[in-house]
A and B are shown apart, each in its own frame.
Chain A
């Protein structure tokens, strides 16, 4: 949220040294954003918010919750600044790696070192398929720590899973399977509600659907690929989401990339968050519309760009834009942040823009009823023009949906690239979604759904609070099940991943280009299937590894929020 808008360095240094002392309010607010909404216009600039919040806290320094008068609307997001010395060390780390990379490239050029990988044969007169600088990073940085990704599993990706053991004789160029497996706690898969299961209602229903409808479809929705199971699924989802209608597709990525082009085209404007997922970016690019990018989660920047677009129209011709579409995600999977939906809705209404909300990570995982970020903020789903989501994460299935008014969905049915040319969703997958949605909605007659939601929400708060207390720098909203822990130095990416796995915890680490170059991070995805004991065990491992690798960079005061029931009601 606050990236890019930070205090100047002097004040920052102050903040770093004041870890356990009194908190200067102005610094404090910048890193630790407590905001109020629901009081008139949502659109406040950041300075206004900071002022407002610091005014609220200046009376009682120890009071962390600035919006205590209105506890119902409290949003807390964290984006702690990279400490200067860490930034310098990180750049130094990359500099050394790049230097060594070039050195080894020279050795390879002189055939003093062999790269055991299939390279393009040198053919006279042919333009090489890859530019050599394109692959420098891959060859010299990624290859050496490649074992941290693509780890194959051989069981259901539940709370725990089995990893297939691999060994690499040549530092990541090639892998061999040893035949053994390692059991590890799974904090890498997107299994928010724990529906990655091999038994229970969902699995039974999916088995039945396989027997009834088979595995494949071999036809598109415009042709013969319409089954009653699709109709049932779409009616149920529309009901769940609180909208008029809904259409489903076989792949989540394609739901974005193959549908955005039908909403906007030349002469329209797409305003896209800078950290939007590749599928949204591709969809926007394929549409032919003008694309402008606003700072991540920065509502003020969004308003500025919206306003300019409405006032000045298209570049060069200055004709007014035909439509403006705002693309945002509910939860950002690399930041753990939650979109400020009420503010975005207020803006889109003010400027008559349209809103496309990608709930890939938030649907099911957020909100008192599991209806995603719309539910979390108590917004009206009708205020979002296009609701999009995927079934890979919370539903333990695959595919995606577009939902909204009947007019909208009818148009999607008529015009969607996916509906016309791509195979429709296989029946077992559709059935898995139907059953899991019914459980989330409580239509199965049990409280399983609300238990799962409760456990997940508790896990998020508890895990995040404990990490804060240990002194890690973590990003995102306190209610987000995606928890990025900042690692910074390139060498620590692999070290963290390997050390954690050695102790039985499997996690995802990400670095450039998925993140800014210095903000490499580890990402934990919480699940309702994690019990408190598991989370405690994971925390103990993270604590130990964090000490070993000196990862506890935070100089921010430990935020005060808890996983107790009364605190949840504040949401």
Chain B
């Protein structure tokens, strides 16, 4: 028995020192040649290890001993928590908005806002899908077949044939191997990122990304490096720095996945990501490129297939594309698409996919019909581009305002021209403009951000959403109303 233990000890030692080539014969030889004090020492070590195995680990609650029951009771008595939530003042603009700015019609090109008919320049209904009768008819048909809710997650009988059709059609439209549908636009990218990027991985991310991406990154617990918005030079600087680190620690680099996360068209800035340059960096530094196309899907490119079509980049080169179905398609939910080996993983690892009820089938049906419309009438994308350019051009002439965003973008940000204003005062002026425009029959909206939660708070702006069905007369009116409101607000 004793001999056996010695052998084990030596064997362990041998394995530790000459990891790869351990030879039984050599060990036995070593055993005979070893001096006796060595054997005794080994035995003592083994006994010590066995002892350790059977002793309890030290208690981390040592400090418990120092308090008496009375003291504990007093401490419990004494402790006063902070209030669960602070009081929100009654004049909080978001509260007022939710309470008093109420629509009682479809959120189409025109809305009835507080009883008044307004031209809707606020909701992201780019392709005027909301309000299309054919979509509603098909949705109602679906409702009469499936009811409203799906009553379960995809895994547990929540997969309806409509969902499968939706995924197939989206994949086909985007030209990718597979697509996966989520029941909430926000949850799509926010679930997809942590499905791949784990603790220890590294994410390079644009500063200007939307809140959903920020949350996805946070949930992944990966290391994050932010580069300046749309600044590829800054990105390359970070990448070279990282490459330097990798060279120092090759072992770690071999297991660290690297992700590059951008938005196709930034909802907070209205500009397009420099995809060709990003692709170049992707190949050079071996990054996985994830791109959220919530705004650009259906609006960019000749046929609305997004940024890849806009720049003529093969879609397969982007590892993962996600988009919301809640904007251009005017439905509900979101989807991700890419190669099968990428997408399939989310069916077990995407939290928002596995653990949430699936989309109501009628809304999936609405998305399918809208997608068919987009496929069959690509001229709506042309009209959208024309309208965006037109509004862009006209609005840039309005004094006191600065238009931010690409001319082709259906999202325009109107900022105050004087940039030295305090945030609160700028917001007040913008709200005043929105208020006056509403009285004139144009519904606008100040882009809403959670100031305390945003990683990089975008500057205050009015966010204008272009609709492909606007005609020139309507757009001229919008510009005129904004011009008036702007003038009036600077005078007041």
- Which residues of A line the B interface, CB within 8 A? 117-120, 125-127, 129-130, 138, 142, 149-158, 161, 164, 186, 188-191, 195-199, 202-203, 206-207, 210-228, 231, 250-254, 257-258, 262-263, 277-279, 282, 285-286, 307, 310-312, 320-325, 350-354, 385-386, 390-393, 395-398, 407-408, 410-415, 417-423, 426, 428-429, 432, 506, 508
Contacts and interface: CB of A to CB of B under 8 A. Distances in A.
Interface stretch (B11-19, B49-57, B338-346, B425-433): B338-346
B155 A215 contact: no
B95 A413 contact: yes
Given A130-B345, A224-B103, A279-B355, A210 B136 contact: yes
Interface stretch (B138-146, B389-397, B481-489): B138-146
A189 B143 contact: no
Interface in B245-259: 253-258
Interface of B: 63-64, 67, 72, 75-76, 79-82, 84-88, 92, 94-95, 97-98, 101-108, 111, 113, 120, 122-125, 129-131, 135-136, 139-140, 143-152, 154-161, 163-164, 177, 183-187, 196, 210-212, 215, 218-219, 253-258, 286, 288, 324, 326-327, 329-332, 339-342, 344-345, 347-348, 351-352, 354-357, 359-360, 362-363, 366, 443, 445, 448-450, 452-453, 465
Contacts of A253: 184, 187, 351-352, 355-356
A151 to B, nearest CB: 6
Contacts of A415: 88, 450, 452
A65 to B, nearest CB: 35
A207 B159 contact: no
B147 A198 contact: yes
Nearest to A418: B186
Contacts of B95: 410, 413-414
With a 10 A CB-CB cut-off, give which of A278, A320, A398 has the most chain B CB atoms: A398
A164 B161 contact: yes
Contact of B185 (A158, A422, A429): A422
A489 B362 CA distance: 39
Contacts of A285: 219
11 contacts: A152-B159, A203-B143, A216-B129, A218-B326, A218-B330, A252-B356, A254-B184, A278-B355, A312-B63, A392-B149, A398-B183
Contacts, number: 355
A429 B148 contact: yes
Given A279-B356, A392-B150, A396-B148, 15 more contacts: A118-B177, A125-B286, A129-B342, A153-B157, A210-B143, A222-B97, A225-B123, A258-B215, A277-B355, A310-B76, A321-B81, A410-B95, A412-B85, A421-B448, A428-B148
B448 A216 contact: no
B465 to A, nearest CB: 8
A283 B359 CA distance: 21
B102 A218 contact: no
B160 A152 contact: yes
Contacts of A154: 160-161
A385 to B, nearest CB: 6
Nearest to B210: A421
Given A223-B448, A417-B211, A323 B82 contact: yes
A196 to B, nearest CB: 5
Contacts of B103: 224-228
B326 A214 contact: no
B101 A156 contact: no
Contacts of B445: 219, 223-224
Given A206-B143, A224-B111, A311-B76, A217 B326 contact: yes
A227 B102 contact: yes
B98 A413 contact: yes
B81 A250 contact: no
B128 to A, nearest CB: 10
A423 B185 contact: yes
B344 A118 contact: yes
Given A118-B177, A421-B210, A432-B149, A150 B219 contact: no
Contact of B331 (A153, A215, A221, A278): A215
A211 to B, nearest CB: 6
Contacts of A397: 148-149, 360
Nearest to B150: A157
Contacts of A164: 161
B157 A186 contact: yes
Nearest to A234: B98
Contacts of A130: 345
A398 B360 contact: yes
Contacts of B76: 307, 310-311, 350-351
B378 to A, nearest CB: 20
Contact of A224 (B120, B149, B327): B120
A291 B78 CA distance: 23
Nearest to A426: B332
B215 A417 contact: yes
Contacts of A220: 448
A62 to B, nearest CB: 40
